[in-house]
């Protein structure tokens, strides 16, 4: 029995790509650090982390449930747990319920506004997976879902909306949408055949990569604007500069004629970018060198 539980847990973590939490969690910490330009209390950090784990696990589990029939048709995704029968639909629904419960409990431990906005978070996290069925803007909806990380962390501590976290969230939105377009290029032929909506399927690979590049120009512009709004220092600006370099490298790896390195661009560089933004924001909070 114990071995079966361990096996099921391993399969589940692989299904939801738990390691991809690296994309959003560092930006949640960025939002938390910038509320008062100091390291938040252990209480807030723990519950923000648990909220992020709950939100991301629920969203990915729902995505796998909603897309299981599409995944079974796509050679790239046919090996996932649900199409192969390694996990049952009932089991994954249980994971969704437990994950949203963790998010709710975490919100209760944070600010009153975070608790009140719980239904909004559930709606956004649940809606994304349906968008590929009717709009090529689905990449922006994924960006919106992940942009809740810095905005939610700010609200969890400050108990209010402010311009700065909205700008950070906007940067995350366009950053995520940009790399998701690159990722979707791998499914160009499949999406066109089965009428799955995406920017590559709608505009072609060359224009899709151009749109991705545009999004990756917009994203750091939002990140830079936060430095002026909050009067941040040298380390934060260096972090954004490194992020720009990583985005440029990402686009140098792919072309309409060669998408073989899209996986490197998707995970390695974007995971690094997220961590870089967190580390340099932390350095800016600990060792402020003001330029404004």
Residue 164 counted as domain residue: yes
Give the pLDDT score at 16: 61
Residue 291 counted as domain residue: no
Give the pLDDT score at 253: 87
Give the pLDDT score at 21: 63
- Give residue-wise pLDDT tens across range 5-25: 666 667 756 766 655 666 789
In degrees and rounded to multiples of 5, residue 189 shows phi and psi of -65, -45
Residue 247 counted as domain residue: yes
Total domains in the fold of the chain: 1
Domain range for residue 7?
A: 2-286
Distances 111 to 103, 107, 124, 154 between C-alpha atoms, Å: 13, 7, 20, 10
Give the pLDDT score at 190: 95
User: In this structure, are residues 212 and 182 in contact, taking their beta carbons and an 8 Å threshold?
Assistant: yes
Query: Quick count: other Cβ atoms within 10 Å of Cβ 104?
Result: 17
Residue 120 counted as domain residue: yes
Give the pLDDT score at 262: 72
Rounded mean pLDDT of the chain?
91
Give the pLDDT score at 23: 73
Residue 292 counted as domain residue: no
Regions of the chain short of the pLDDT cut 50: none
Q: Which tokens belong to 158?
A: 């400050």
Give the pLDDT score at 270: 86
- Give residue-wise pLDDT tens across range 210-267: 999 999 999 999 999 999 999 999 999 999 999 999 999 999 888 888 887 776 666 7
Residue 130 counted as domain residue: yes
Contacts with 203 (C-beta within 8 Å, 6 or more apart), sequence order: 136, 211
State whether the Cα torsion 213-149-145-155 is positive or negative.
negative
Residue 207 counted as domain residue: yes
Give the pLDDT score at 18: 59
Spatial distance between the Cα atoms of 86 and 65, rounded to a whole number of angstroms: 13
Q: What is the CATH number of the domain that holds 161?
A: 1.10.357.140
The C-alpha R_g of the chain, in whole angstroms, comes to 19
């Amino acid at each position: 029995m114990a071995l079966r539980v361990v096996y099921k847990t391993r399969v589940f973590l692989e299904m939801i790509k738990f390691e991809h939490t690296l994309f959003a969690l560092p930006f949640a910490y960025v939002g938390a650090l910038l509320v008062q330009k100091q390291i938040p209390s252990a209480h807030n950090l723990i519950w923000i982390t648990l909220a992020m784990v709950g939100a991301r696990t629920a969203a990915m589990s729902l995505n796998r449930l909603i897309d299981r029939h599409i995944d079974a048709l796509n050679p790239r995704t046919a090996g996932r747990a649900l199409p192969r029968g390694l996990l049952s639909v009932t089991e994954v629904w249980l994971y969704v319920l437990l994950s949203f419960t963790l998010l709710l409990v975490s919100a209760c431990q944070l600010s009153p506004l975070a608790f009140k906005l719980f239904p909004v978070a559930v709606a956004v996290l649940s809606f994304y997976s349906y968008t590929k069925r009717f709009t090529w803007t689905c990449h922006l909806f994924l960006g919106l879902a992940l942009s809740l990380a810095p905005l939610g962390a700010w609200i969890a501590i400050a108990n209010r909306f402010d311009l700065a976290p909205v700008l950070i969230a906007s940067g995350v939105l366009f950053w995520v949408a940009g790399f998701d377009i690159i990722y979707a290029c791998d499914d160009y032929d499949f999406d066109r055949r089965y009428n799955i909506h995406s920017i590559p399927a709608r505009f072609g690979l060359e224009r899709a990569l151009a749109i991705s590049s545009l999004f990756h120009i917009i994203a750091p512009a939002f990140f830079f604007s936060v430095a002026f709004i909050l009067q941040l220092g040298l380390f934060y600006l260096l972090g954004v500069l490194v992020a720009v370099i990583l985005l440029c490298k990402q686009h140098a790896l792919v072309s309409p004629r060669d998408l073989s390195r899209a996986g490197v661009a998707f995970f390695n560089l974007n995971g690094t970018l997220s961590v870089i933004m967190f580390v340099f924001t932390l350095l800016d909070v600990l060792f402020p060198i003001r330029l404004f």
